[in-house]
Amino acid sequence: MKKCLLCLIISGLVFLGPPACAKADVVELENGSKIVGQVLKIGNGQLVVKTDFAGSITIDLARIVLFRTEAPMHLHFPGGYRVSGKITYTKEQTRIDQTGGDSFISAAPPEHAWPEGARDPMGRHWSYEAGFDVAGKTGNAERVSAGGRVSAKLQGPDDRLLLYMRYAYAKDDSVESDNSIVGGIDFESYFREKHSWYARVELEYDRIRKIDLRTTAATGYGYFFLKKPHHSLRGRAGLMIRREERRDQPAASTLGLDLGISHGYRFDNAWTISTDVTYTPSVEDYRNYRIWHESLFEIPLVASEMWKLQLGVTNDYISRPADHKDYLDTTYFGRLVFSWQ
């Protein structure tokens, strides 16, 4: 009886075959190494594979001689062609076995690939940030300050829309030294790999500088001197019109240039540094201008990068300030930021 039962169990195991979890994607490298896991995505010339022994590993496609996927994936090829299916990749070609039985072969590697059900990296996606900072001082002098910034960004492969608002407030020895709100919209469309056009509108209220409302609208041309996933350098040049409504003064409008430079760098540990400078001189009088600058250093506080710490400085220089007001305002900040999508 025991022998019969044992035979039945062995026969059942043979009939069922190996468990489904034994299936996995295989990646072969130039040095002969093989990595077994799950291919998560392809992008920017790199492949990301999830393994049981080392988590997610990022590999340059140039170092891969072959990989296969057991599950269908979505792929985007140069020229905008999209296809879905199981992948067999070699240096010579990429073969896609589609669900209906047809096959697609490309001599070029895919620009992007992602699993079924995952977010399309080539589509538009919203991302959000909210940051807040507060500081105080007592003793020989008393100071209290608070500030915040919120932003929403819609990023796509061909354009980017940014909505933002920032607030700053400070008191020194019970005297108000800062009270301003700035909100704006910045749209940029990429019509070539390194070329773009942009349009932006910014509204500002500054009680200390006696500005009830400052409206700036600008449009122009942008060029990326560097445009890499971890490193970017972009310049802008355009025309702007600014209208200012000051306390106890008639409203005034200025036509001028809109010149800017923006730089960003992301380290391997996800720390980032960025700098933005905008120079807006009047075309009627070059001595009438404004320079705005911000530099910040950003450190992720958790692996998901949802919580971040920003340390930075802003400078706002106005060549013709209100009576009895300084030309330059400098603000140092340490800001806790929450990001989500």
- What is the rounded CA–CA span in Å between residue 247 and residue 214? 11
Residue 63, token pair as written in the block: 């170092």
Answer whether 281's CB lies under 8 Å from 257's CB.
Answer: yes
- What is the rounded CA–CA span in Å between residue 173 and residue 164? 31
For the entire predicted model, the pTM comes to 0.70
pLDDT tens, position by position, 68-105 = 999 999 988 876 678 899 999 998 999 999 887 888 88
pLDDT at 108: 83
pLDDT tens, position by position, 235-269 = 999 999 999 998 778 888 999 999 999 999 988 77
pLDDT at 158: 83
- What is the rounded CA–CA span in Å between residue 114 and residue 71? 11
pLDDT at 18: 42
Q: Can you name the residues that pair with 49 across neighbouring β-strands?
A: 39, 57
What burial class does residue 94 get, using C-beta atoms within 10 Å of its C-beta: 0-12 exposed, 13-18 middle, 19+ buried? buried
CATH 3.40.640.10 fits 125-340, yes or no: no
Rounded to a whole number of angstroms, the distance between the first and last alpha carbons of the chain is: 62
Stated as kind and residue range, the H or E segment containing 242 is: strand 231-246
pLDDT at 250: 86
pLDDT at 49: 92
pLDDT at 24: 87
Residues contacting residue 338 through CB under 8 Å, at least 6 positions apart: 129, 130, 131, 306, 307, 308
Answer whether 84's CB lies under 8 Å from 97's CB.
Answer: no
User: Would you list the domain boundaries of the chain?
Assistant: 24-115, 125-340
Give the residue ranges of the chain where pLDDT is below 50: 1-2, 5-22
pLDDT at 23: 66
pLDDT at 279: 97
Q: How much helix, strand and coil, in percent to the nearest 5, is found in the chain?
A: 5, 65, 30
CA separation (Å) from 171 to 43, 177, 322?
49, 5, 20
- What is the rounded CA–CA span in Å between residue 76 and residue 141? 61
Phi (first) and psi of residue 111, to 5 degrees: -75, -35
